[in-house]
């Protein structure tokens, strides 16, 4: 038997790691992966609360989060590819002008 | 007891992978540690009795999305990231702030939430019930997400398509 708070703490740690990565990473792909880490942390808390309240709709919401994350990954990576084509760099500090 | 041991083991893998994602400089190492995080999260979902979510986690996240990431990393030949002044400032404020934040969240959760425990498979979420929910109670959101995915596919194709076709017309 594992207390529900343990799952929530794990989820909080994952989310905090994601936010930290979002702040300290300079590679645009690593920043994107930190966002995925945050989404995973939130998913874990959804499933933990679903188990606590015996409500299966929490798991359905996790499914929707995953679908939106997949769509976001496809569009985001396409944007990264097109940024790399025009700027020839993946460092976000060098992508700071709106014009070319 | 065994439940707690399995939870702690895979939780440790999860946290180690997340920290490794932050420490590694090369994006491909970060991507592989993210796969480890997602795989151990699938085990945590199984412990919570969410079989459907565990399967989707492995198939969609660890399978499809991470393969997309690895493809893009290799396609763009992404090397080690360089340190700049901005990233040092972000580290100076980001790491202590996040440590304080996570300790605060953990303390509140341990203090305030009751000691409600979850037994193994306490809430069996068989795919049959979830499928019924998806196609009955959540039918409209389900259809809307299918349109969203269609738009995302078209957007990705348009954004990532080679610009030479347009440039050739302008230059010529």
Contact B98, A16 (CB under 8 A): yes
Residue B7: what pLDDT? Answer: 92
A80 Cα distance to chain centroid:
16
B78–A90 CB contact, under 8 Å: yes
Q: For A94, which residue in chain B has the nearest alpha carbon?
A: B84
Tokens of B141: 């959101």
- Mean pLDDT on B74-98: 78
Residue A25: what pLDDT? Answer: 86
Q: What residues of chain B lie within 8 A of the CB of A25, using their CB?
A: 22, 81, 87
Q: What residues of chain B lie within 8 A of the CB of A100, using their CB?
A: none
Higher pLDDT, B66 or B92: B66
- B39: helix, strand or coil: helix
A78–B7 CB contact, under 8 Å: no
Lowest mean per-residue pLDDT among A6-10, A77-81, A87-91, B65-69: A87-91
Residue B172's pLDDT band (cuts 50, 70, 90): very low
A69–B81 CB contact, under 8 Å: no
B113–A8 CB contact, under 8 Å: yes
Which of A4, A10, A63 lies at the smallest CB-CB distance from B11?
A10
Class of domain A4-91 (CATH, top level) = mainly alpha
B81–A30 CB contact, under 8 Å: yes
Tokens of B35: 């796969």
Interface test with A, best of B5, B27, B77 (most A CBs within 10 A): B27
Residue B120's pLDDT band (cuts 50, 70, 90): low
Summarised one tens digit per residue, pLDDT across range B54-70 is 999 999 988 899 999 99
B69–A29 CB contact, under 8 Å: yes
C-alpha dihedral, B150 to B156 to B162 to B166, nearest 10°: 70
- Mean pLDDT on B66-82: 86
B118–A52 CB contact, under 8 Å: yes
Q: What residues of chain B lie within 8 A of the CB of A91, using their CB?
A: 81-82, 84
Which of A17, A64, A70 lies at the smallest CB-CB distance from B22?
A17
For B1-7, the CB contacts below 8 A with 24+ separation are B3/A1, B3/A2, B3/B47, B3/B119, B3/B120, B4/A1, B4/A2, B6/B43, B6/B47, B7/A2, B7/A6, B7/A7, B7/B44, B7/B47
In terms of phi and psi (left: phi > 0; alpha: psi -120 to 50; beta: otherwise), the region of A30 is: alpha
Domain ranges (residues) in chain A: 4-91
In whole angstroms, give the CA distance from residue B94 to residue A19: 8
Summarised one tens digit per residue, pLDDT across range B39-57 is 999 999 998 888 889 999 9
Interface test with B, best of A63, A82, A87, A96 (most B CBs within 10 A): A63
Summarised one tens digit per residue, pLDDT across range A20-78 is 888 888 889 999 999 999 999 999 999 998 888 888 888 899 999 999 999 999 999 99
ipTM of the complex: 0.91
């Amino acid at each position: 038997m594992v207390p529900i708070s343990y799952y929530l703490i794990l989820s909080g740690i994952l989310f905090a790691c994601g936010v930290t990565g979002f702040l300290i990473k300079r590679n645009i792909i690593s920043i994107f992966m930190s966002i995925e880490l945050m989404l995973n942390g939130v998913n874990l808390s959804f499933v933990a609360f679903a188990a606590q309240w015996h409500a299966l709709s929490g798991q359905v919401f996790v499914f929707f989060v995953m679908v939106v994350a997949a769509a976001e990954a496809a569009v985001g990576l396409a944007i990264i590819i097109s940024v790399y084509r025009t700027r020839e760099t993946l460092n976000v500090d060098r992508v700071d002008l709106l014009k070319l | 007891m065994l439940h707690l041991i399995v939870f702690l083991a895979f939780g440790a893998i999860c946290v180690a992978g997340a920290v490794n994602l932050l420490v590694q400089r090369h994006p491909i190492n970060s991507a592989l540690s993210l796969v480890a995080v997602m795989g151990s999260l699938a085990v945590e979902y199984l412990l919570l009795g969410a079989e459907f979510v565990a399967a989707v986690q492995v198939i969609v996240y660890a399978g499809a999305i991470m393969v997309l990431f690895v493809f893009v990393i290799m396609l763009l030949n992404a090397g080690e990231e360089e340190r700049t002044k901005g990233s040092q400032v972000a580290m100076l404020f980001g790491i202590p702030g996040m440590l304080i934040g996570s300790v605060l969240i953990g303390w509140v959760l341990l203090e305030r939430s009751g000691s409600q425990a979850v037994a193994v498979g306490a809430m069996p979420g068989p795919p049959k019930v979830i499928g019924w929910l998806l196609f009955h109670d959540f039918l409209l959101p389900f259809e809307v997400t299918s349109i969203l995915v269609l738009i995302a596919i078209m957007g990705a194709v348009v954004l990532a398509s080679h610009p030479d076709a347009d440039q050739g017309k302008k230059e010529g």
